[in-house]
Amino acid sequence: MGGDRALAGPVPRQRGDGLRKSRQFLRMTALTLHHFGFSVTTLHLGTRKSALALWQATHVRDRLLALHPDLNVTIVPMTTTGDRQLSGPLTASGGKALFTKELEQGLWEGRIDLAVHSMKDVVAQLPEGLTIGAILEREDPRDALVSALGVSDLGGLPSRARIGTASLRRACQIRHRRPDLRIENLRGNVNSRLARLDAGEYSAIILAAAGLKRLGLTERISGYLPIDVSLPAASQGAIGIECRLTDARTRALIAPLHHPGTAQCVEAERAVTGALEGGCRLPIAAFATLADGQLTLRALVGEPDGSQLLTETHSGPAADLATTARAVVDGLLSQGAGAIIERLLKDGA
């Protein structure tokens, strides 16, 4: 390296040489320090400020430090537009991109190197130049019932009981089984939703089991809604780490956290919601499992009032998950999902 140049004598100085040399100097310094047991690698890890987001960020930091003891990881809590607008239905206020945009801006500008997200909150189409560098092993994907009286399933709730959820997906599936229940809008972070239940506003609320478990609130779960009662949202329970596409160093550092089985399921689920313009403006669910290299994908599109609920399930080799996802989407469309989606998107616009 550089030897040929030295033998060839002085080289005319070129524009950009200085910059290249100082970069090279920094790199050599880092390598030398590393050689003597020092490391100057610091990663800035961006996160939202909710308790769940901070738990997830801390979890990713701790797992990175366990893998790379020399690494510095600085957590950078950021406020997103979505966090500032926590009133009214999510569907009316611009959707879930609002929860990731500021973090993605931070990645773009180099203020952070990683952004930790619930994959459920990550939109189908990532901004240019960014990638999900790792998806962690999924936590419990089910929805959980948290009820004031400890009722553990939908059937045990009294007639006309008030149920808190802001999710069209949850509302549609609950109403399908129990048209008498009164679904009421409930937004906010996990702890504020629990506080409103405790204040007596609802008989029960529905939350992702994953969030409750991560926050050490497992004992608040009155019962788990089975997958065939409440099909989960695409990616529910999975944490993703977003980074710059070209940031090879960061991508290499997080690569060991990647869980390929979870990633395949999440990819199949997101293929369905992506193809159907999903997001949180529609009652739409998608959930995949893997067994012996076979991926089974189930998805659902419904009417918010629960009057219609279309489901489709297909299996195929995990290596060919795009074909399975396509079959599920085509099946839903041939059952009439297109008309439901078109009408709901028009009404919501």
Q: Which residues have a catalytic role annotated?
A: 121
Return d(Cα 237, Cα 137) in angstroms, integer.
Answer: 9
Do the Cβ atoms of 103 and 117 come closer than 8 Å? yes
- Of 133 and 316, the one with the shorter C-beta distance to ligand PBG is 133
Return d(Cα 130, Cα 108) in angstroms, integer.
Answer: 8
- Of 209 and 244, the one with the shorter C-beta distance to ligand PBG is 209
- Of 86 and 245, the one with the shorter C-beta distance to ligand PBG is 86
- Write out the residues near ligand PBG by the rule CB under 6 A: 118, 120-121, 207-208, 210-211, 236-237
Return d(Cα 174, Cα 34) in angstroms, integer.
Answer: 56
- Of 212 and 329, the one with the shorter C-beta distance to ligand PBG is 212
Shortest distance, position 320 Cβ to ligand PBG, whole Å: 26
- Of 168 and 344, the one with the shorter C-beta distance to ligand PBG is 168
Across the beta sheet with 72-77, the strand order is: 72-77, 42-47, 114-118, 239-244, 130-135
Give 161's strand partners.
none
Residue partners of 31: CB distance under 8 A and separation at least 6:
none
Greatest CA separation found in the chain? 90
Shortest distance, position 208 Cβ to ligand PBG, whole Å: 4
